[in-house]
Amino acid sequence: MKITELPTPALFLDADTFDRNLAAMAAVHPGAALRPHVKAHKCTALAAAQQAVGHATFTCATPREVVGMGLAGVGTDLLLANETVDAARLRAMADLDVPVTVAVDSTATVDAAAANGITACLIDVNVGLPRCGVAPHEAGHIAELARRAGLEVRGVMGYEGHLMMVTDRAERLAAVERAMELLLEAHADVGGPVVSAGGTGTFDLHDSTGVTEVQAGSYAMMDTHYGQQGMPFEQALFVSGTVISVRDGHAVADVGLKALGMDHGNPSVAGGTVWFCSDEHVTFEPSEGLSVGDRVRVVPAHVDPTMAMHEAIWIVQGDEVVDRWPIDLRHW
Amino acid sequence: MKITELPTPALFLDADTFDRNLAAMAAVHPGAALRPHVKAHKCTALAAAQQAVGHATFTCATPREVVGMGLAGVGTDLLLANETVDAARLRAMADLDVPVTVAVDSTATVDAAAANGITACLIDVNVGLPRCGVAPHEAGHIAELARRAGLEVRGVMGYEGHLMMVTDRAERLAAVERAMELLLEAHADVGGPVVSAGGTGTFDLHDSTGVTEVQAGSYAMMDTHYGQQGMPFEQALFVSGTVISVRDGHAVADVGLKALGMDHGNPSVAGGTVWFCSDEHVTFEPSEGLSVGDRVRVVPAHVDPTMAMHEAIWIVQGDEVVDRWPIDLRHW
């Protein structure tokens, strides 16, 4: 099947670009030096491709991602880089054949994990992003609680998410190093072999931070937001749309805000300037003549929520559709 | 089951508030004077509740919504208020037992509809929102093309979406009246019994505009964006979240931007001030003490894409969960 035969809106991945992105990351962080973040794609087939280039440890944001990866048999070490006190979900993760580690940052999350069969944890440390995570000086105390509750404490994690979009590289590096000093301060009190941090925006700034593994996800697919950062990853993810209306000065394609993560703003359209998105439309000014029925490529501003809106992603080589991967780790 | 027993994030509808919203709208636009917009909820069970209070004609934004409504047997007259040239989808709509009308605004959309078994159309008119729709003076020509192609031309539709959020009521009314003059100008050339327009934001401004039916959807559930407009509809839709981390000055619940339409900005949290959303988190400043495991109610800024992110909506009376409705018209 040709890409132009797909019913639209159709999420698709350019296979060659995707492979280059995987290779570029694996060259910098081979094997377990990268713990790919499943939340970026929510797709076990895509995770299997990451495993095929050497990464067998994975980061997840939801219990469903962990359980789905475990049941699909992808990954040999799964981390829930998030807190939960949901007994049924903790139990479902603990019942998997694959080892599961969860993040904890409080007595309640430690107790819930221990009470429901979880055996290993990382202490989640706040390194500047006000979300989950204890203050660095409290990390040792939580580790002690966790060990007393019978959990193996494998180390610490901290996500410098507030620094992903610092545009100046030197500034970003300096800020990352300061954030990682906080994480190492916590790690000194916690112990364990793992210091887990990072993301696509800071993937190459951890040479001397003491981090043992980088959690990155977007690098494999990319989006316009990360695309402005001058990284060695290319845009591999697109939404194919059909032009459904052509008017004086603007055209409309059938790729709307229900097919696109909008929290980073409007998407881009190849060969046009986007005016706005509605539920099922993108209105744009085309740079050359378009006709109703023509196809356009829409590039999402934020990859993670875009993937979460689609049932499947089409895998494309050139103009040929070669596969369809279900996005099977959606919802919670 | 109590609402606090739902796994989170859990989308839920307060049944009593929902019923009041349906009654308030039906009092103003009874029966076919309202053509409820299915895109707002994508849920046949919810549409059936709208039908139970007297509305049997429905508006849809996608072929899947039309086909799903038809197969579920909800509605006696379905309108695709959108353009498509997808032959297979047009054929699937034409093959339903229920009468289907589609919007057209070009030769290509007329020809595609006629070639694939569709028998009725509305001429889509641009009344100020630059999206699909012909200029008013071109509407008669498209109607002529449609009749020549064998389609019944039932009238015109035009969506004054650019006016939904004009905050001053008198200003909004004046602008709606100007927009509807354009629609009536088109209708004079097109003919047919239907003049379809409007939305929740302008539902009560069509007394003297000549509009025969109002297309509104959000009114049934509501969101914070429409909630600022002083309308007689109350917030019935919420996402229940679990507090997973409590820190100095902020707390985190498990309702993130993958559970919320973000194109209208951040959600609200009852009893707190929202700082920001991440994929699976909302970080907020609580107005009183919270503990890990507590439940919070998150109110989406935009109802339509929020509904489209969830597999089902829980129906709640007081604190009791009384039903679960699949959101079965998602995707395309």
Average pLDDT over residues A5-34: 98
Q: Do A39 and B280 touch (CB under 8 A)?
A: yes
Q: What pLDDT score does B148 carry?
A: 98
A229 touches chain B (CB under 8 A): no
Burial bucket for residue A56 (CB in 10 Å: 0-12, 13-18, 19+): middle
pLDDT, tens only, B162-205: 998 888 989 999 999 999 999 999 999 999 999 999 999 999 99
Cα–Cα dist B272/B283, whole Å: 10
| Close Cβ partners of B143 (under 8 Å, ≥ 6 residues apart) | B123, B153, B189, B190, B191
State which residue of chain B sits closest to A275, comparing Cα positions. B130
Q: What pLDDT score does B37 carry?
A: 98
Cα–Cα dist B297/B9, whole Å: 10
In the CATH scheme, what is the code of domain B30-215? 3.20.20.10
Residue with tokens 């019942």: A95
Q: What pLDDT score does A258 carry?
A: 98
B3-11+233-326: CATH, from 3.20.20.10, 3.50.50.60, 2.40.37.20, 3.40.50.300? 2.40.37.20
pTM over 0.90: yes
A-contacting residues of B 28-87, CB under 8 Å? Answer: 39, 61-62, 82-86
Minimal CA–CA distance to A108: which of B242, B217, B265, B21? B242
Residue A129: both structure tokens together: 């992003």
pLDDT at A30 over 90: yes
Q: Do A262 and B308 touch (CB under 8 A)?
A: no
Q: Do B247 and A130 touch (CB under 8 A)?
A: yes
Backbone angles phi, psi at A151, to 5 degrees: -85, 140
B277 touches chain A (CB under 8 A): yes
Q: What pLDDT score does B230 carry?
A: 84
Sign of CA dihedral B162, B165, B166, B172: positive
State which H helix or E strand residue A158 sits in: strand A152-158
B8 touches chain A (CB under 8 A): yes
For residue B207, count other CB atoms closer than 10 A to its CB: 8
Q: What pLDDT score does B167 carry?
A: 87
State which residue of chain B sits closest to A161, comparing Cα positions. B278
Every domain range in chain A assigned CATH 2.40.37.20: 3-11+233-326
The pLDDT confidence band at residue A155, using thresholds 50, 70 and 90, is very high
Q: How many residues make up chain B in this entry?
A: 332
Q: DSSP of B94-113, one letter per residue?
A: HTSSS-EEEEE-SHHHHHHH
Do B310 and B320 touch, CB atoms closer than 8 A?
Answer: no
Residue with tokens 């929202």: B274
State which residue of chain A sits closest to B266, comparing Cα positions. A263
Q: What pLDDT score does B219 carry?
A: 98
A2 touches chain B (CB under 8 A): no
> ipTM > 0.90?
yes
Cα–Cα dist A196/A209, whole Å: 11
Distances (CA, A) of A332 to A65, A308, A311, B11, B84: 8, 11, 15, 12, 33
Cα–Cα dist A254/B85, whole Å: 11
Chain centroid to Cα A309, Å, comes to 14
The pLDDT confidence band at residue A118, using thresholds 50, 70 and 90, is very high
Minimal CA–CA distance to A12: which of A329, A332, A331, A310? A310
Q: Do A245 and B291 touch (CB under 8 A)?
A: no
Q: What pLDDT score does A241 carry?
A: 98
**Which residues of chain B have a pLDDT value below 50?**
none
Q: Do B258 and A304 touch (CB under 8 A)?
A: yes
State which residue of chain B sits closest to A308, comparing Cα positions. B258
pLDDT at A292 over 90: yes
Chain A hits for B8, CB-CB cut-off 8 Å, are 86, 332
pLDDT, tens only, A172-182: 999 999 999 99
pLDDT at A165 over 90: no
For residue A169, count other CB atoms closer than 10 A to its CB: 12
Q: Do A106 and B261 touch (CB under 8 A)?
A: no
Minimal CA–CA distance to A56: which of A69, A39, A40? A69
Minimal CA–CA distance to B330: which of B44, B77, B91, B71? B44
A274 touches chain B (CB under 8 A): no
Q: What pLDDT score does B165 carry?
A: 83
Sign of CA dihedral B230, B232, B238, B243: positive
For residue B192, count other CB atoms closer than 10 A to its CB: 17
For residue A221, count other CB atoms closer than 10 A to its CB: 29
Do A226 and A218 touch, CB atoms closer than 8 A?
Answer: yes
Q: What pLDDT score does B229 carry?
A: 83
Average pLDDT over residues A201-211: 94
Give percent of chain A above pLDDT 90. 96
Average pLDDT over residues A248-276: 96
State which H helix or E strand residue B142 sits in: helix B139-148
A170 touches chain B (CB under 8 A): no
Q: Do B109 and A244 touch (CB under 8 A)?
A: yes
Backbone angles phi, psi at B91, to 5 degrees: -65, -40
